Amino acid sequence: MKHFAGIDVGSLTAKAVVIDENNRILGSHIMPVGQDSLAAGMNAYAQALVKAGLKKEDVAAVVSTGYSRKRFTEATMQKTEISCHARGVSVVFPKVATLIDVGGQDSKAMKIGKDGKVLDFAMNDKCAAGTGRFVDVMAHALNLTLGGLSDAALSFKEELTLSSTCTVFGESEVISLLSQGQSVPDISWAIIKSIADRLVSLVKRVGIEQDIAMSGGMAKNRALVSRLEDRIGFDIHVPGEPQIMGAFGAAVIAKGE
């Protein structure tokens, strides 16, 4: 049996996945990128191999993806995370037609055709609004983890709005809401609504078609998924491990080569 690997090094985390010919995940690993994206990617790959009980030589092809994809000169091929997420998610949910992926620097909405081919996509504009980075900064301003932000948001009582979509202004707005005595859950919900609204605009740009799925670390944020479902009007499928979908898709693409 042949084995394939995908390495996805984004702006915040490095992910690696090793699969077999049947797309079964044999090992995977996630770690923070830190200072050296190449080292982080290689490290994640080594760990995934250990978990899979394999050696580098056992792997027939490797595809690298993510912001640092080009640093992996050893990889068989480099593909953008857009193609990789689409491919990965379409293996898990074969009927997926629309995919939302929220990364650290970029958020994407994709329209997906047969075999996970990307037909059209829209991405956030220059500012960080609607990206993982934005939520990170806001959670930090509230002294919460990402999970904590989601939990807090789900217990909101009052509808507040966060008007600034700019990270810097947004942060000062959060601080000023706090100083006005607004509750952490209400502010958290306002943050979630703000990013969800930006994502819905992106999705509308490619057109909303069922089935809809979401990948990337932010897909684990239940408050965000629930707000998106409300605004879009359909259920959103979230894979078991949304964060490794890019690396998984990369491995699937490696198999095809």
Partner 1 sequence: MFEKFIEVNRDSANRARQWKQKTGKKVIGVMPEYFPSEVITALGAYPVHFKGTQIPISRADTYLQSFSCTTTRTILEQAMQGDMDYVDGFVFTTMCDNQQNLAEVFKKLFPEKPVVTFMIPFANDASVRQPHLKEQLDKAIAGISRITGTGFTQDAFQTARALYERRAALINRLYDVRRRNPKAVSAYGFYSILKADAVVPAEEFTALLEPVVSALENKDVLPVEHRIIISGITPEPLELAKVFDEIDLSIVDDDLTSGMRQFSRGVLSGIDGAGIDRFVFGGSPCSTLFNPAQDRRAYLADKAARDKAAVVLWQIKFCEPEAFDRPDLIAFLKQRGIPVTSFEVELQMNSFEGIKTRLQAFKEIL
Partner 2 sequence: MTKFRVSETMKEMMASYYLEAKNAAYNHVPVAWITSGGPVEFLHAMGVIPVYPENYAPMCSITRVSKDLIEVSEAAGYSSDLCSYARTDIGADMTQGGPILGLPKPDMLIVGTNICHTVVKWFEVHARKYNVPLFIIDMPYLHDGMTKEAINYVVGQFEAFKTFLATTLKRPFEEEKFREALFLAAQVSELWEKVLAMGKKRPSPLNSFDTFIHLAPIVTLRGTQRAVDYYTQFYNELEELTAQGFGSVPDEKIRLLWDNLPIWYKIKYLSEFFAQHKAAFVVSTYTNSWAAIQGNIDTDHALEELARAYLSPYINRDFKYRIDYLVRLIEEFSLDGIVFHSDRSCKPYSLGQYMIKEEVTKRTGKPGLIIEADMNDPRVFSDAQFETRAEAFLEGLEK
95 lies in the binding site for partner 2 (CB under 8 A): no
Give me the least distance between CB of 126 and partner 2, in Å please. Answer: 5
d(CA 257, CA 255): 6
φ/ψ of 142, rounded to 5, equals: -95, 0
80 near partner 2 (CB under 8 A): yes
Distance CA 200, CA 130 (A): 10
Residue with Cβ nearer partner 1 (14 or 184): 184
Crossing angle of the two packed helices 132-141 and 146-154, in degrees rounded to 10? 80
**Nearest Cα residue to 190 out of 203, 208, 205, 171:** 171
Nearer to partner 1, 91 or 225 (CB): 225
Cβ(5)–Cβ(75) below 8 Å:
no
Closer by beta carbon to partner 2, 56 or else 117: 117
Nearer to partner 1, 91 or 196 (CB): 196
Q: What residues from 149 to 188 belong to the interface with partner 2 (CB under 8 A)? A: none
Tokens of residue 91, six digits: 């293996």
Binder of partner 2 out of 74, 115, 119, 235 (CB under 8 A): 119
Query: In the complex, which residues of this chain contact partner 1 (CB under 8 A)?
Result: 125, 127, 129, 161, 163-165, 172-173, 176-177, 194, 197-198, 200-201, 204-205, 231
Report, in Å, the least distance between residue 94 CB and partner 1: 28
Taking the complex as a whole, the smallest distance from the CB of residue 163 to partner 1 amounts, in Å, to 4
Closest approach, Cβ 167 to partner 1, in A, equals 13
CA-to-CA separations, 27 to 7, 38, 115, 246, in angstroms, rounded: 12, 19, 23, 14
Q: Which of residues 124-153 bind partner 2 (CB under 8 A)?
A: 125-126
- Sign of the CA dihedral running 257, 123, 9, 100: negative
Amino acid occupying residue 206: V
Note whether 121 binds partner 2 by CB under 8 A.
yes
The alpha helices in 93-145, defined as continuous H runs, are 132-141
Taking the complex as a whole, how short is the minimal distance between the CB of residue 176 and partner 1, in angstroms? 5
**Interaction mask 26-65, partner 2, x per CB under 8 A:** ----------------------------------------
Site for partner 2 in 192-211 (CB under 8 A): 205, 207
Q: Where are the alpha helices (DSSP H) in the chain?
A: 37-52, 81-92, 132-141, 146-154, 167-179, 184-206, 222-232, 245-256
Contacting residues toward partner 2, per CB under 8 A? 67, 79-83, 105-106, 117-123, 125-126, 205, 207
